[in-house]
Chains A and B, each alone.
Chain A
């Protein structure tokens, strides 16, 4: 059974938001909402500035506060690849998971349920990449099985320096940022 994750090369990302637009068209996300977003972190004083650009989304954590706080079982870890999903039918829109997520990765859809990145499970089940990975003009995103030592994502993590977002939150995120 694979454990899916993403490895994102911050050196290549230009923060163009193509991943955001692609997610919106692929998954029909309503205007004013988005499942992924861009963060630009600036350090230093001009002109000695360092900047990291990151494309962020649900981290599909291995230790999931959003799942443990859900009163109905709508938020769950899917058996396929450990992808974290929300069952729209079961969700009552109580916002507990929205508050619990340290990454602000969830929002309440106008139709009343919690919504977030699904790693484009419909595509992944067909052997395709998530839409954001597929469109990225800089090829900065890699998707694959973290448990397979020979996968591209595993090899990248072995060969490059990386960090995760909010490691102290203890959620064991499955999205890694190469630096």
Chain B
């Protein structure tokens, strides 16, 4: 028997055996340039601090070189985010550098968009092409007709370029396709957002409630570290999820909720707490607004009513509500992150905020702390040109509470219709819109109306396949980026610096932005010689220096209190200046001032609801071609309840295709029959079934949930696109 076929690990991860290729010693074509960092191969071990880019968490890291070659990446012990330990993606960071599918040189499209046929060009030729098109768009339509989609801190210099060019249209999927509803729901309640990294005090919580949040599979490093500590310290964990998640296996209470009914559970919980007077009365008296009206409304919701909606036994609803109250204010009802589920997501998030408010956890130890950042002055740039037109993502304030980043799907819509004014250019940085936005056809339709589409990326992502020009970026280990000053329990500043040279003709984003600005006659907006000068100028203004930060990687701000009880002044920047149990501004705009339950459509006979989520070894659809992470998980699986599978004649391990309500059929995906999911839904990890032929190692591996998300509901408060509303049937692969 082949020894490898017996490896249980591979059976579990569903990985396939790739041909053995030792990572080190990959041949390198070195770029000619004066800025080489590994000019001489230093013998022995070098340790260089930086911060990670495998996701948006931006953990402090230490990269190790062995004899001048990249060896490994570990957490930086000085860093409050990683505390010296990275997650599996961060540990696999070296794979980003060695990924054989990486973009190597600038590309210009040969004929049709999406055909992925390219001409390799020089950087100068690529910039000439882009500048010519951008000048034409500016002259014919105005600079606001170029929009930027940008995700991650690497986009900062490109954002600066687009503002200098004169466009107000800048967005990311992180608002309308992800945490927008959560931020708006909390802002409507407390006057402030949850933010990123989340201000959740998991470390000190005595009772943690997770609603559809699968921490441990969703690998937000600090949160997972704190979660395991909370488990160790015996915190009471309550998990609400249609799937028996990893977190559910650690829980004292598991509530296998019917998808689409979370708001009924939240209202029933609040009903119990209000009727039994289990809330934090002092806190509410001091900081609450409109509590009586709120209490009168929620006290109507009973566990028996919620049972009919959710399938959760009334006794369990009562018991868990009392459990939360028992540990208040150190009870944390986690707000989750990806909140675009059903279309009433802002109101569901507001209900989560209100439940926390009842328990007095906002601003308290074991609940939500008050974060602070290291304040570093911005670079003293000349003022941007005056904007001639308003952003067009939310024309006429159609979604009155869209108060975060712009609505990405709004910009897409305007690109399709040409209203309120045409969008003729897209700049896309570090976000694979094919997997991030719902309804792929609408994205393709919008792209067809463009005169210019530029994609800056490290790999030939699916969205890059639709571009006119593709610019290959250096990966994080090869470049400087802007300073990280994320608000957190401790203020700090972190540096990202190059530790190894690019293998080919890839360039860092700061260089791309500066060179393109010069081509566009906007060189005065990039007055610094290079990024080191930019960083040093900013750091010196804060009394630090680049040389100092490069050595240590992280500098912390003076300590400040982070809880009300330790002297933080409670502030609630809502209209009333208090926690709004009843929201006048929602009532005035024609919405429910206290959240109300809406029934959502359930799958018809023979259909399953399609749910999706995260695996700890992958980020979005960005990491599937990373050789180390691909080795951990090279395709996704379709989770289906074992009894249901037997009923419809589907076996564990067989390949199936999914067909959704609109007739879209997925790529083939392996079945995982399991006792860990309800009978009315199926689940897969997001980010697979990729269609970029240049991503040879991951092309059509597994199925794409994004492809099956043709239907979406729009949240009327803030324009978020709810994506858990697609139903699928299962067809055996012949």
Contacts and interface: CB of A to CB of B under 8 A. Distances in A.
Q: Do A and B bind each other?
A: yes
Interface of A: 9, 11-12, 14-18, 20-22, 24-26, 28, 30-34, 36-40, 42, 44-47, 49-53, 56, 95, 98, 104, 106-108, 110, 134-140
Contacts of A51: 244, 246, 249, 676
A30 B228 contact: no
Contacts of A32: 4, 15, 17-20, 631
B71 A140 contact: no
Contact of A50 (B217, B228, B249, B627): B249
B24 interface: yes
B272 interface: no
B629 interface: yes
Contacts of A136: 85
Contact of B12 (A28, A31, A38, A95): A38
Given A32-B20, A47-B256, A98-B3, A137 B9 contact: no
B88 A17 contact: yes
B219 interface: yes
Interface of B: 3-4, 6-10, 12-13, 15, 17-24, 71-75, 85-88, 91-92, 94, 215-217, 219, 221, 224-225, 227-229, 231-232, 244, 246, 248-250, 254, 256, 616-617, 627-629, 631-633, 641-642, 674-678
B675 A42 contact: yes
Contacts of A21: 88, 91-92, 617, 628-629, 632
Chain B interface secondary structure, helix, strand, loop or mixed? Answer: mixed
B12 A137 contact: no
B228 A20 contact: no
A113 B91 CA distance: 27
Nearest to B25: A28
A95 B72 contact: no
Contacts of A37: 7-10, 12
Nearest to B217: A14
A30 B18 CA distance: 10
Among B17, B85, B627, chain A packs the most CB atoms within 10 A around the CB of B85
B11 to A, nearest CB: 9
Contacts of A106: 3
B675 A44 contact: yes
B20 A33 contact: yes
Contact of B216 (A14, A95, A139): A14
B676 A49 contact: yes
Contacts of A38: 9, 12-13
A28 B227 CA distance: 31
A110 B20 contact: yes
A39 B8 contact: yes
Given A20-B9, A138-B228, 12 more contacts: A14-B216, A14-B616, A17-B13, A17-B633, A21-B632, A25-B73, A31-B19, A32-B19, A34-B631, A37-B8, A46-B676, A49-B249
Among B13, B225, B244, chain A packs the most CB atoms within 10 A around the CB of B244
A179 to B, nearest CB: 12
Contacts of A139: 85, 225, 228-229
Contact of B4 (A17, A47, A50, A107): A107
B88 A40 contact: no
A47 B231 CA distance: 21
A50 B676 CA distance: 10
Contact of A26 (B9, B72, B248, B641): B72
